[in-house]
Amino acid sequence: MKARLTKILTDPRFIFAVYCIVAIVATITQILKNNPDNPWSSYNNFLIFKTSFQHLVSRGDLYQLWPADHQDYYKYSPTFALLMAPFSWMNIWVGLSIWNLINALALYFAIANSRFAVSKLKSYMLWFVLLELLTSMQSSQSNGLMAALMIFGFNKMEDKKPFLAALFLCLGFYIKIFSLAGFIILLFYPERFKAIFYSAIWMLILFLLPLVAIPYSQLIFLYKSWLHLLADDHSASVGFSVMGWLHTWFNLNPDKMFLAVGGLILLLLPLARIKQYRQFQFRMMMLASILVWVIIFNHKAESPTFVVAMSGIAIWYFSGKRSMIDTILVCLAFIFTSLSPTDLFPAYIRWHLVVPYVLKAVPCIFIWVRIFYELMSRNFDKHLKVAE
């Protein structure tokens, strides 16, 4: 009986079906829980995406408030607004369903088609990130897609397809700029110069793509407005991040730019181990490090963004032999990062302990330190054997 259940739970077709069902359930719950006084509150992020194309072609400022259409600011590129064109004509039920399915299935295929581990372990990865993916989809966010694009970029470099790798990474950048860190993975391969060249081409193409709908002068205006919004946005909030952890636990408030630069230096330090580049395990661990880093060092990190970090943690944990300490850290991450935002977690503990002390981020921070230590100290041709 146990063997049969394990076979079902690790069957990629079954997991694929579950991912589809979860995406549709997320859509249904979002729409049904609407507040009559604020009918778009539960899927506000999708409305920001959906209406951005209309604002783009009407030659308005994407980066001002549009209170008649949605709450909060649009913080993505003009290119992303253009790519939202198909959604602008769809009703909420159809558009939101497709959007959530894109996020769910992109992450499913990114992990399922990777070389991280044998099929059974990749199934464990998919189950591990599913709850965090649901949290992201319940806010109609793009974070499942963001994690997938960085993993796709890695997969395609492993497949010696730098043209496609560059495309995936550039698409990620034009959705959320934190995925710029994903370009680090290009450095590990003999095709690095081709990949960098293709990246420059794709960056230019995607930069200019909105010209099919707006004039050049409007495009430049929008990019300036976007940069201005991001600069203002940098000054507020500490979020579920290293910054938030230092503030709430130790009452430390380091300069955000200083902390970001320090974090970047730590992220890049393993690049000095050039002889390790040829080891798949080292490259894989760097990807895991990047996926966690882009969230914990983002001072604006919100709960729905952590599907990116948990994807990195899944890659790290399920791709090799792990110690008891590693298992404890992963269990803490699942409890406090993935489980704490759900109704399965005691509400009192969530609001009086998890949120005030940013416990959603803390296990991820400790795990990133663990990954960093391994990247700096292990000889990967002797340790952490992975089924490629």
Instruction: Extract the residue ranges of the chain whose pLDDT is less than 50.
Output: 384-388
Domain boundaries, the chain: 2-377
Please report how the helices 306-318 and 92-112 are oriented relative to each other, as an axis angle in degrees rounded to 10: 20
Residue 316 near residue 287, CB atoms below 8 Å: no
Q: What is the DSSP string of 80-119?
A: HHHHTHHHHTS-HHHHHHHHHHHHHHHHHHHHHTSSSS-H
pLDDT in tens, 201-243: 999 999 999 999 999 999 999 999 999 988 876 555 678 999 9
Of 14, 53, 59, the closest CA to residue 222 belongs to: 59
Q: Check if the beta carbon of residue 130 is closer than 8 Å to that of residue 307.
A: no
Distance of CA 224 to the CA centre of its chain: 25
Query: Do the Cβ atoms of 268 and 323 come closer than 8 Å?
Result: no
pLDDT at residue number 338:
95
**Is 47:40 a contact under the CB 8 Å cutoff?**
yes
- Per-residue model confidence (pLDDT) at position 237: 65
**pLDDT at site 36:** 62
Q: Which residues neighbour 359 within 8 Å (Cβ) at sequence distance 6 or greater?
A: 336, 340, 353
Given this model, what pLDDT does residue 344 score?
82
Residue 77 to residue 81: CA distance in whole angstroms: 7
Task: Answer yes or no: are the C-beta atoms of 128 and 291 closer than 8 Å.
Answer: no
Q: Which pair of structure tokens corresponds to residue 56?
A: 């783009």
Cα 142-107-157 angle, rounded to 5 deg: 110
